[in-house]
Amino acid sequence: MEILIISGLSGAGKSKAASFLEDMGFYIVDNMPAAMILKFAEFCAGGNGRYDRVALVYDVRTASSFTELFTVLDQLKTMDGACRMLFLEALPETIIKRYKETRRRHPLSGDTTSLAEAVERERTMMEPVRARADFIIDTSRTSTAQLRAELLRLFDGKDEKSGLVVSVTSFGFKYGLPMEADLVLDVRFMPNPFYIDELRHQTGLDAPVAEYVFSFPQTGAFMKKLEDLLSFTLPLYAEEGKTSLFIGVGCTGGHHRSVAVTHALAEYIRNLGYQTAENHRDISRGG
């Protein structure tokens, strides 16, 4: 079992970090008092693998006693599995700016005379927790995408590619565009196997149809340009933090050209190292 304690300064990005970790397979619990952490860990240990990766958010809101937290951490480290702490921080001026933009109240604002005083007081209070952290991330100049990439590196051992799922779907324009498409490719310029009697009742997944579609030089040229485009843009999408990309490939009916191109394109993207889903929306529709 893996337990990660997410702590840090208010406004430093703990909620964003928790969301990214949840996407990575962690079970997230927010605002858990130290006194409950050990019992929750014992509960998770008996969960038959359901709670193998758990991330608990602990901050100044629940900090009744850091001594209690440190005692719990020492006990957790004696249990089977890993227990680590991530601490997020940012410069005071960055945190103040974020609070002004969101118009939220700082947790310590009720006990201080200004936001700046609340930020500084929390920094001082949380220093013992910071000193116990296994990982410290300063988000002052870190974009959302950079934070996600760093979390992937630290806790998944993977690069940005692992966080991007590319779905490639063939469709027929006569049945309408896929509503969820990020990128739509029109392959109706290619010669149509529909007009070849022996190919009409086959699909782009059948070898004779695929061979016909890819026998024309314009198809090869198109695929080369498309592969160049995707090899350039997919890493940028992943770096920016995009988690899914939907590519729609359309021909007239969604039976022949779009199916053959989608199948080849999905294989190319998969070979680049991205999680890839291949679908054919209209392949079973009549005429």
pLDDT higher at 266 or 109? 266
Tokens encoding 59: 């901050």
What is the overall mean pLDDT for the chain?
A: 90
Q: What is the pLDDT of residue 146?
A: 83
Tokens encoding 16: 């964003």
| Dihedral sign of CA atoms 11, 12, 16, 22 in order | negative
Q: What is the pLDDT of residue 162?
A: 65
pLDDT band at 269 (very low <50, low <70, confident <90, very high): very high
Dihedral over alpha carbons 31, 36, 41, 43 (to 10 degrees): -110
Angle, vertex CA 199, rays to CA 223 and CA 167, nearest 5: 40
Per-residue pLDDT at 28 exceeds 60? yes
The proportion of the chain whose per-residue pLDDT surpasses 90, expressed as a percent, equals 62
Q: Which of 86-95, 115-124, 130-139, 236-245 has the lowest mean pLDDT?
A: 236-245
Dihedral over alpha carbons 181, 185, 188, 189 (to 10 degrees): 170
130 closest CA partner among 118, 142, 138: 138
Q: What is the 3-state secondary structure (H, E, C) of 137-194?
A: EECCCCCHHHHHHHHHHHHCCCCHHHHCEEEEEEEEHHHCCCCCCCEEEECCCCCCHH
- Return residue ranges of the chain for CATH 3.40.50.300: 2-158
pLDDT tens, position by position, 60-84: 776 666 888 888 888 887 876 678 9
Q: What is the pLDDT of residue 234?
A: 94
Please check whether residue 257 is in contact with residue 251, taking contact to mean a CB–CB distance below 8 angstroms. Answer: yes
Pick the CATH number of 2-158 from 3.40.640.10, 3.40.50.300, 1.10.1740.110, 1.20.140.10: 3.40.50.300
- Highest mean pLDDT, choosing among 25-29, 36-40, 188-192: 188-192
Cα-atom radius of gyration of the chain, to the nearest Å?
26
Question: In angstroms, rounded to a whole number, what is the distance separating the alpha carbons of residues 94 and 100?
Answer: 10
Per-residue pLDDT at 222 exceeds 60? yes
pLDDT band at 255 (very low <50, low <70, confident <90, very high): very high
User: Is pTM beyond 0.75 here?
Assistant: no
Q: Which of 58-62, 202-206, 230-234 has the lowest mean pLDDT?
A: 58-62
Per-residue pLDDT at 11 exceeds 70? yes
